[in-house]
Amino acid sequence: MKVIAFNGSPKKGGNTFTALQSIQPIFEENGVELEILQIGSSTIQGCMACGACRTNKNERCIFDKDPVNEIIQKVKEADGIILASPVYYASINGTFKSFLDRLFYVSGSNGNLFRHKVGAALVVVRRVGGINAFLDLNNYLLYSEMIIPGSNYWNVVYGSKPGEVLKDHEGIQTLAVLAQNFCWTLKLIEHGKEQFPAPERVKKIGTNFIR
């Protein structure tokens, strides 16, 4: 089994990366490969709501000069994903949001490619805004019908200077519990999907409030 973790921070070796790195051994102990992909330092075009991915249905975004299309296929083949972001103005940073908007828009426009995969979110914050950013990330997972394991607290870790998140002992424990629950959920799905087939996907009903 394989899980892809996205580092939404522009700082490749910052606290968001350190937080992800702290749970990597837990996945390995459970026989799950955890690949950490650096996203936040890329230049990524935001979604223009052009609808081309919905019209073409080729599992691709019309913008092809950044890594989004390649990553769509990586996520499609993975068993789960982790979304990790620093907190900017009480929310996720702009580059990561541009990436997620397009990633999940293409998925939803092509039969919901990530449906019933396991997903989780975590954020790193210096002081405040962590819950806001955490909820922002979970919106992507929930909308996509992904299965979200919990922990014994919200997945918010504190730190400012590189490496300081490791001093947030409660936060690191929260991520460790999350990692164990994530791997357990993966195993439940893997061993139960033949006996309990997933419910059929329903055609989405769209209701506009302004007519």
Q: What is the pLDDT along the chain (211 residues), one digit of tens a residue?
A: 999 999 999 999 999 999 999 999 999 999 999 999 999 999 999 999 999 999 999 999 999 999 999 999 999 999 999 999 999 999 999 999 999 999 999 999 999 999 999 999 999 999 999 999 999 999 999 999 999 999 999 999 999 999 999 999 999 999 999 999 999 999 999 999 999 999 999 998 989 998 7
**pTM (two decimals):** 0.96
Please say whether the beta carbons of 158 and 126 come within 8 A. yes
> To the nearest 10°, the Cα dihedral for 172, 175, 176, 179?
-160
Please say whether the beta carbons of 28 and 35 come within 8 A. no
What domains does the chain contain, in order, with CATH numbers?
Answer: 2-192 (3.40.50.360)
Angle at 43 between CA 37 and CA 49, to 5 degrees: 100
Nearest to 120 by CA among 59, 73, 78: 78
